[in-house]
Structure 1
Amino acid sequence: MSEWNSMNREIKKNQLRRQIVPTSVDKDESSEEIIKKARDKVRKKRLRIFLVLFIVFAAGGIGAFQYFRLYHYTRYGVVWAKQMNEGSYEGYMDFGSNVLKYSKDGASYVDSQGKEVWIQSYEMKSPKAYVSGDYAAIVDQQGNSIYIFDKAGKTGVATTVLPIVKATVSSYGVVAAILEDSTSNYIYFFNQDGSVLDVKIKALLGGDSGYPVDISLSPDGTQLMGAYAYLKNGTLNGRVAFHNFSEIGKSIPDRLVGGFDQPYDGALVAQVRFLDDTYSCAFADNSVSFYSTKNALSPELLKQIPVQEEIKSVFYSPKYVGLILDNPKGENPYRMEVYKANGDHVFSTGFQYQYTSADIDGDHVFLYNGDSCRVYSMSGRLKFSGTFDFPVSKIRNGRLPNTLIVMGPQNMKEIRLQIGGQYQ
């Protein structure tokens, strides 16, 4: 009996051991599960940390964007200042990320820190500069010379027999110029080295084409947009025409691929401009029109916006077009309208500021006069207003979102906008 009890106790002990201590297989399975749970826990922890950091950075980015977009600055600090050789100063033109400074006796290419990259001397009575992409042309209006530049310096000089009225340049250095004589006008074309291209357009006020008032080359140089004046029943009317100088335009008479008369019946077109290789605009005395040459052989009038008020100024960039109008019925004497290159409306705002010049650089509109400026964002908000202690000729964006380059005949400064106002 005692043996039986002893065996019974051993059996019960073994059963108890099996319940308390797992087998080797159970041990392995338990260890794998523990490791898996630990890894899942680490992954979840890392995911939570990532989400928290993402939210923090996103909130910071949105906050910074709203800060730069909405805040109204009224003070500034000077980052750097350079004395400029004034000479017989005429003006500045945006030239890539830098500027072209030109005068009656020469031109210089100035970088974003006020350093002169190159200087070119010449003599002109009435210089006028034109820029597109990597090329610039300076012409002597009513004179006979055209200086052509890229970012490295002069690439050529064109000399004409007839006086130059206006010109335009492509981003590849091709120049088109309106030349006039006593009975007709001509549009001549020149290579970047100044040599004459075998292309010419003759225009008469009383002829079929009309008299060229303004011209603009597309950036790639294959299309020419012209504003013409022509007589119809004894009345002067406006016309917009497109010429194509690529291979596909060879078979078309005078390479004329599109003409628009009806939109300008009884009106004159004063200025035309290719904004990029597809979109262009025309400014008449009672409207602004937006065109597309996506189909190179069939230009399209996308939108014509009537303007009842007097147009005081027009300005543009590759992305935007701006108008400043008289605003006789509002509390502000002026109204600014800004559109995208395809004619879509961006914003409208009234103002009382007595400006003399208007520009667009990036997503900012600049209004300025001899000693002060205003900067607007593309939401129509006033970002900065301030005065300066030196004459102002041009303003553009600086190297950082809250900096500006302010240029005058004798000075160039980069300024950093500082807090001094409230949200508008």
Structure 2
Amino acid sequence: MAVILEKPELRIYEIRKRQHRKRIITLIILALIAAVIALGGAFYTISNKRYTEYEVIKSIQKSDTGSAKYYTYGSGYLRVSRDGIMAADSSGSQLWNDTYQMKDPQVSVNGGYVSVSDRGSKQLNIYGPKGLESSNEMNYPIIKSVIASQGVTAVLLSGKGENHINYYAKEGGKEIVNRRTTEKEDGFPVDISISKDGTKLVTSYVFFSKGELSNKITFFNFGGVGDSYIDKIVGADAYGTTLIPDVEFVNNNTVCAFGDNMFTIYKMEETPEAKVKKELDSKVKTIFYNESYIGLVLEDADNIDSSRIVVYDLDGNIVFRKNTDFSYSTISLKGEEIVLNSSRDWLIYQLNGKVRMTSHFEKEIAQILPAPGRNRYIMINDETIDEVKLK
């Protein structure tokens, strides 16, 4: 039989019901806050943990000579030497390989595609996820080649009194564009870089103007927008006597031009626009970058054994700055970390300024490459290739 409550009793019942619901909701909120604080504390502890040791997860015996160089390739690596190239996955299993003879092989890697060109000679090979896509003999000696993420390749060539920018499709190395420049009118080529999607290009040339050496960078668009411009040139910037030895697409829509004591960041979705220009108080020793940051190692005028590492975001804001006397052989960015190593020592900084890793090696290390996954790296010495994890 149903119980019928009088109005006063009904009001008391409803009040108690609402109070009970509020207590439950309050307890749930407090529990969630406690969980977030606990997870945040754990994340902070893990993120700011300082490591001094690492463990070897996998080890592969090396079969090459010490002249081979290694590059990150997908989840694994490339081994490149004068007589061939081999791609391996993270376990060291071969994905593909090829043999050739090159005096000075230079490598450009973008996604699953690789170009290997013989600097000063005429051979250019283009590789994809399954290996060799095309092998090409250039008409002139190669200065530099760069490759996009789908295999489109641009090559800077040096002729007699003239130079060429050739643009190739991956399929059979078919030439799409051949732009001729003359040393008298355009100057001498210094550097070239291509966007990830392969539609944009930037070059740096030096030339003599009124008896002085000057520098100019030029932007090309080989997509639909470029069809409206003469020679597909969508922009240029003159630097006067400031030399720009290095131009880089750090991501698909951002170009950085690096000088000896300055840099400029351009946004280039279709045409270039200078967004940031920084004058530096010291000379640049080394540049390094990823898709989100650019890093510079600057000379210390007062101490030749010391350097200053500065990292900027792509809006030109300083996100990291620190003096160091670490004598590095390589320096790179892995996500939010700066990785330095010499043949005997390893140092990792976080962009928040904290030291992530310091370690001394018992035997000499040739290279350390970033590997997929948190705290994982590929370490190469004279005898083995090791996948390691910080611990």
Aligned to 1:284: 259
Aligned to 1:12: none
Q: Which consecutive residues of structure 2, in runs of 5 or more, have no partner in the other structure?
A: none
Say if 2:156 and 2:164, in contact at 8 Å, map to a contact too: yes
Q: For structure 1, which segment, 302-311 or 234-243, has the greater mean C-alpha deviation from structure 2 after superposition? A: 302-311
Distance 2:70 2:208 in 1: 37
Aligned to 1:377: 350
Distance 2:229 2:260 in 1: 31
Distance 1:288 1:171 in 2: 25
Q: For 1:105, give the aligned amino acid.
A: D
Q: Does 1:69 align with 2:44?
A: no
Matches within 5 A, 1:3-402: 24-26=3-5, 41=20, 44-45=23-24, 47-48=25-26, 50-87=28-65, 89-207=67-185, 209-261=186-238, 264-294=239-269, 296-297=270-271, 299-329=272-302, 333-402=306-375
Q: Give 1:246 deviation, angstroms.
A: 0.8
Distance 1:83 1:42 in 2: 65
- CA deviation string 1:161-209 (max 9, x = no partner): 21111011111111011111221111111111342323112122321x3
Q: For 1:359, give the aligned amino acid.
A: S
Distance 2:303 2:123 in 1: 47
Say if 2:282 and 2:300, in contact at 8 Å, map to a contact too: yes
Which structure has greater strand proportion?
2
Aligned partner of residue 347 in structure 2, secondary structure: strand
Say if 1:90 and 1:127, in contact at 8 Å, map to a contact too: no
Q: For structure 1, which segment, 116-125 or 364-373, has the greater mean C-alpha deviation from structure 2 after superposition? A: 116-125
Q: Give 1:71 deviation, angstroms.
A: 2.7
Aligned to 1:4: none
Distance 2:86 2:2 in 1: 88
Aligned partner of residue 203 in structure 2, secondary structure: strand
Q: Give 1:48 deviation, angstroms.
A: 4.7
Distance 2:323 2:6 in 1: 80
TM-score, reference length from structure 2: 0.91
- CA deviation string 1:208-257 (max 9, x = no partner): x3322110011111111111111110111111110111112113111111
Q: For structure 1, which segment, 48-57 or 343-352, has the greater mean C-alpha deviation from structure 2 after superposition? A: 48-57
Would the alpha carbon gap of residues 79 and 254 (structure 1) be closer, same or farther in structure 2, given more than 3 Å must change?
same
Distance 1:107 1:367 in 2: 26
Distance 2:73 2:3 in 1: 79
Distance 1:399 1:195 in 2: 31
Larger Rg computed on CA atoms: 1
Would the alpha carbon gap of residues 332 and 194 (structure 1) be closer, same or farther in structure 2, given more than 3 Å must change?
same
Q: Give 1:133 deviation, angstroms.
A: 2.4
Q: For 2:202, give the aligned amino acid.
A: M
Say if 2:66 and 2:382, in contact at 8 Å, map to a contact too: no
Q: Give 1:80 deviation, angstroms.
A: 2.3
Aligned partner of residue 102 in structure 2, secondary structure: coil
Aligned partner of residue 64 in structure 1, secondary structure: helix
TM-score, reference length from structure 1: 0.84
Aligned partner of residue 5 in structure 2, secondary structure: helix
* Count of equivalent residues: 391
Aligned partner of residue 228 in structure 2, secondary structure: coil
Would the alpha carbon gap of residues 92 and 40 (structure 1) be closer, same or farther in structure 2, given more than 3 Å must change?
farther
Distance 1:124 1:114 in 2: 24
- CA deviation string 1:64-89 (max 9, x = no partner): 33223323222222222222322464
- CA deviation string 1:358-416 (max 9, x = no partner): 11121111111122221111113221111223432332444443333323354222323
Q: For 1:255, give the aligned amino acid.
A: K
Q: Give 1:109 deviation, angstroms.
A: 1.8
Distance 1:305 1:135 in 2: 33
User: Of the candidates 383, 387, 390, which is equivalent to residue 414 of structure 1?
Assistant: 387
Identity of aligned residues (%): 26
Q: For 1:229, give the aligned amino acid.
A: V
Q: Give 1:54 deviation, angstroms.
A: 2.4
What is the CA RMSD across the aligned residues, in angstroms? 2.7
